[in-house]
Structure 1
Amino acid sequence: MSTHPPFTISDVRVFGGGALIPGVTHVRVSAGRIAAVGDASVAQAGDAVVDGSGATLLPGLVDAHVHLLPGCTRLAAVFGVTTVLDMFSKPETIVPERSAVAASVRGAGPVHADMRTSSVGATAPGGHPTIAYAPFPYVTGPRDAAAFVADRVAEGATHLKVIYDDGSGAMLDIPALDVPTIEALVTAAHDSGLPVVAHASSAAGAVTVARCGVDVLAHAPFDRMTDAQIRDVARCGVAVVATLSVVDGFPGQDGVMPLLAQPHLAGRLGARWRRLIERQALRWMPPEPPDGAAQRYNTVAFLESGLRVLAGTDAPNPGLVFGASLHRELQHLVDAGFTPGEALAAATSTPAAVFGLADRGEIAAGRRADLVLVEGDPTADIAATQRIRDVWVLGRRVDPGAYAGSEAEHAGVRWQRDSAQKIITAIGEMWPGFPAPQEVRRDDGEPVGRVVPTSGGWQAMTIFGAPLGDPADRDEAVAVVRACGLACLAEPWWARVGDDPVWREARIVEAAPDRVRLRWADPMIDQPPSGQWFGLDDLDLSLDRPAG
């Protein structure tokens, strides 16, 4: 690991991992570690000084439930999440991300959060999450357990993920592991020194896997648990990753996705991710989206029963973004009934203890210098964690603007979009009646656009995804696409590129599903005679001139 000049953060309140540390106002960092914690006397001659006046210093945050995508550890660090715990990814995603993290540790390239991974999770043939990740190795019975765990260890897994989910919570019927197989997996993992994290979405499932000896529940169950079920799980002593922020996958009554309604988070997020989240609001929604009340009840009941609760997001599910969504998770924990201090511990010292990460999670001499400096006092107002001043990983400062617009951002957004399309296609094949986007074609077979099921009805869209009018019933939306899908391409459009807030008039010279070629109407803009191609991740388009 390369060394970096020592620095001291001065005149700051310090949350040590469980509470504010009385009398501590200064923290010194040297060679990627916390060298000293105390008063002004800890600073040494030659130190750079970071003014912490009016701010609070936190240990680097830990997201205890993510699934990797390209560049996610770099994005997480932008928001002060300095460790991510992956709960199911395939080697082709893990290996390059692990290499990027290793380079960051050496001081090469941009700063990345650290990561731990389960690699591929254990599930029955065709079981959850086959739709998202197939192909991958399955577990057919107890005899497969030892070899499956050995293969995960060879891939660098630091914990084992086990999936126990028959789909009943979502009114589905999918294969699931049986109890003897789960017990065999737990034994094999523990023999290899791996803790076991179990996905079980229902209250009954949580009781079952807890009795099998797993160490961590990957979610607080989504249906309300009885007192007897809470006691049963508590007797087993498992830890629980809350994942309350999964409700952020559904827009509010104003149609805005919850993450984007948080100005400090949305403002720190690049335009590509903002556009992706905005477009995720234009998808089919259940008639009554989940409100998370049962999950919140279960999470507080677990805490009150003495179990350790961890903050985790399940990013990158719809509406969730690495790093940013952990701050929403903290809000959800406090809204459920946690004190701000309990919520902060759930994202710092508690996951470090549960997963054996003894070198982080607290601000103390000798720990990794994974630190987050935030405006205000989050032990009084949890929303203060969103007002980030600075982030360091192993003492390296994160440049908050370097990720936005980068190829890493583009790769992550593209991976997320392609993964969502894969899932939509698979769902359509498995359940033909399930509402899914439909392509609209002319009589000669030429595609003219598509209609997308949303919470407000069917949305007519151009071939490149720009909305045409308001949602309506399916037949009306199809009629709009047939009438306007191609004709509107000849009309003037308004476009906004990247983070530029200015809308400019343009003509669409050529259109494809993932990009358009524009020619700007302003003759003063320097551009090729035939116009310029723009990827849709970098562009907002509107037929009507937006206000402002």
Structure 2
Amino acid sequence: MTNVTFASVRIFNGREVVHGTHLRVADGRIDAIGNAEIVRPGEQLVDGSGATLLPGLIDAHVHLLPGSAQLAATFGVTTIIDQFSKPEVFVPELAAGSSGGAASVAAESGTAPATACSKAASVRTSGIGATAPGGHPSIAYAPFPTVSGPGDASAFVAARADQGSTHLKLIYDDGSGATLNMPSLDIATMEALIRAAHRHGLPVVAHVSTARGAVVVAQCGADVLAHVPFDRMTDGEIGSVARSGVAVISTLGLIDGFPVDGVMPLLAQPELASRLSFRWRRVLTAQANRWMPPEPPDGAAARYNATALHESGVRVLAGTDAPNPGLVHGASLHRELQHLVRAGLRPAEALTAATVTPADVFGLHDRGRLEVGARADLVLVDGDPTAAIDATQALRGTWIGGQQVDTASYAGSETELAGIRWLRATTDKIIAAIRDQWPGFPAPEEVTRDDGELLGYAVPLAGGWQATTVFGAALGPVTSREDAIELLRTEGLASLAELWWVRAIDHPDWRQARLTEVQPDRLRLHWADPMIEQPSGGTWYDVSDLEVKR
């Protein structure tokens, strides 16, 4: 492993800027912090002039999808803490991030050399969370084991520990915060789960959405709240939570799931948007064109709660809840830092919430800080994020265990495509479940011919309905439901024979093409330009790799 020294750099150790302009890495760990005297002949030197060196960022609240650990690392997030995933997803991600198991625990405790992969963030996971049968988040993840009462607690927690869970997630949410009605764990069951988790040495993260729920789970003995409550807390509720000693994960950026002037907030950040791949920009653009409530949340209550809890001594951890709509692993943590500063934290305090604090709360004592002996998870950014938090977005480079992250290997890869396909399938499953449980909920409607052939979809949006093809391209403007259905009946199939404008992952410009074969998730295209070399039958593309318009 190559040893490296960062020179002429501002060093933020996780809490403050320290004296010294040089930091040396040897064998994957921080070997020295000082000035030019620590430089050794023949070793790699990284010029940090005008830049700040930070601990690798930690996102304390994600849900995994294939490739999320690698995606996070491309944005300087070197550890992600998963708050509910099933084994078919978390096992490969643990392997990708070189996390989990005895070797990882030894490395994290400082008894073994850091062996992090040079591509992917380290992963901690709750595995499957504890919820009541039919409770949240069944519509996204079912089937999975659930907890019916206190008698199930010991076996449930033991099973999670056996599967490699590093903490327990429990869900206390009856849907009242979103005017829904869902089964939820009761207090006796939560207390039994918390006792069982603590016997296994697992911290407990409790999902709640309301101020009342936060007080209840804090009094039950939970260690971390998975969200700052979404409704404004009273002084009494803030005091009760603070006295319990519980920490709280912010997730203020959930409001980034709602577009501003038709654009998702993440795409309005030039530094972040430029680093997003074609596929993820397409995902965010599509998410901006979905049904949303007439008055989307503004997040004011959550921001108030975050600052009030912080000022009351509650440890605040930065977390995103990616990949909820509008959120992308890695990229959205930089937005979360902005939200924390907007809420009232100083930039240095927001940085601490994404470094030292989550490391301490989750027992990751070898990271989240720049000190001799710590694992060399590092982020180099232009400017001074302790003065202007937006500077975290100007990434010069990321190192995991002393190895520089290869940021170019994710975009356009099969790993990326697998993650986006997984997200698409999960979203479709959620929409179907919502329609089954709440028939009046606006959702895309299939429009078929008399013989049953699918013509496309009438899609509800904030301003009306839009007719779309079977592969999701808009056929016309937003209009009434009846007009959208009529457009599909008259043009749904005929339009497929037209020339379409297409921008593909392997070509940045809009070009015309014919659709020689159409499926919901992929298209075969033949480019109209006769000068383009291509197979006579056209070329297949996944719909994630295309933007298509009439």
Using the size of structure 2 for normalisation, the TM-score is 0.96
1:267-282 equivalences in 2 (<5 Å) = 267-282=274-289
Q: 2:79 — aligned with what?
A: 83
Conserved? CA contact 2:99–2:124, under 8 Å: no
Provide the alpha-carbon RMSD of the alignment. Answer: 1.4
3-state SS of the aligned residue for 1:144?
Answer: helix
Partner of 1:54: 50
Give the aligned partner of residue 175 of structure 1.
183
Q: Distance in 1 between matches of 2:275 and 2:492?
A: 35
Distance 1:46 1:57 in 2: 22
| Contact 2:167/2:205, CA 8 A, preserved across alignment | yes
Q: Secondary structure at 2:345's aligned position in 1?
A: coil
How far does residue 501 in structure 1 lie from its aligned partner after superposition?
A: 2.2
- Residue-by-residue CA offset, 1:441-494 (whole Å, 9 max, x unaligned): 112211111111111211110111111222112111111111221111122111
Contact 1:268–1:400 under 8 Å retained in 2: no
- Alignment of 1:230 onto 2:238: yes
- The residue that corresponds to 2:174 in the other structure is 166
Shift of 1:499: 5.7
**Aligned to 2:291, which of 274, 284, 289?**
284
Q: Which amino acid aligns with 2:30?
A: I
- 1:21 equivalenced with 2:18 (yes/no): yes
Moved more, 415-424 or 503-512: 503-512
Task: State yes or no: 1:247 paired with 2:247.
Answer: no
Identical residues among aligned pairs (%): 63
Say whether the 8 Å CA contact 1:217–1:239 is kept in structure 2.
yes
Q: 1:10 aligns with which of 7, 11, 17?
A: 7
1:107-130 Cα offsets, whole Å, 9 max, x none, are 797511101111111111110001
AA partner of residue 273 (structure 2): A
Instruction: Identify the residue that residue 396 of structure 2 maps to in structure 1.
Output: 389
- Cα shift at 1:101: 2.0
Q: Distance in 2 between matches of 1:66 and 1:206?
A: 20
* Deviation for aligned residue 1:433: 1.2
> What's the offset of the Cα at 1:286?
1.0
For 2:508, what is the secondary structure of its paired residue?
coil
Matched position secondary structure for 1:502:
strand
Aligned counterpart in structure 1 of residue 509 of structure 2, from 488, 502, 505 = 502
1:216 is aligned to 224
Unaligned runs of 5+ in 2: 105-113
8 Å contact kept, 2:271–2:393: yes
Correspondence for 1:115: 123
Aligned to 2:110: none
In the TM superposition, residue 318 of structure 1 has moved relative to its aligned partner by: 0.7
Give the whole-Å Cα distance in 2 for the aligned partners of 1:406 and 1:416: 16
What amino acid is the match of 1:422? K
Structure 2 vs 1, CA of residues 360 and 108 (structure 1 numbering), >3 Å: closer, same or farther? closer
Q: How many angstroms does 1:103 deviate by?
A: 9.0
Is it true that 1:466 corresponds to 2:473 in the alignment? yes
Query: Offset of 1:167 from its aligned partner?
Result: 0.4
1:39 to 29, 35, 41: 35
Question: 2:486 maps to what in 1?
Answer: 479
Q: How does 1:352-501 map to 2 (within 5 A)?
A: 352-498=359-505, 500-501=507-508
8 Å CA contact retained: 1:103, 1:109: no
Give 1:133's match in structure 2, choosing from 138, 141, 153.
Answer: 141
CA-to-aligned-CA distance 1:276-304 (integer Å, 9 cap, x gap):
11111121111111110110000000001
Deviations 1:491-545 (A, max 9, x none): 21111111632111111112111111111111111111111111111111111xx
Inter-partner Cα distance in structure 1 for 2:25 and 2:266: 33
| Structure 2 equivalent of residue 98 of structure 1 | 94
1:67 maps to which of 63, 66, 69: 63
What is the total number of aligned residue pairs between the two structures? 538
For 1:469 and 1:447, how far apart are their aligned partners in 2? 17
Tell me if structure 1 keeps the 8 A contact 2:173–2:208.
Answer: yes
Any unmatched runs of 5+ in structure 1? Answer: 544-548
Match of 2:532 in 1: 525
CA contact (8 A) 1:74 1:110 kept: no
Matched, 1:512 2:519: yes
**How far off is 1:131 after superposition?**
0.5
Counterpart position of 2:304: 297
Residue 186 of structure 1 aligns to a residue whose secondary structure is helix
Return the letter of the residue paired with 1:205: G
Compute the displacement of 1:354 (Å).
0.9
SS in 2 for 1:501: strand
Please report the TM-score for the alignment, with normalisation by the length of structure 1: 0.96
Is contact 2:117–2:400 with CA below 8 Å preserved after alignment?
A: no
Q: How far, CA to CA, are the matches of 2:437 and 2:525 in structure 1?
A: 39
Compared CA separation, residues 231 and 63, structure 1 to 2 (3 A): same
CA distance in 2, matches of 1:255, 1:269: 18
Q: Is the 8 A contact 1:132 1:419 kept in 2?
A: yes
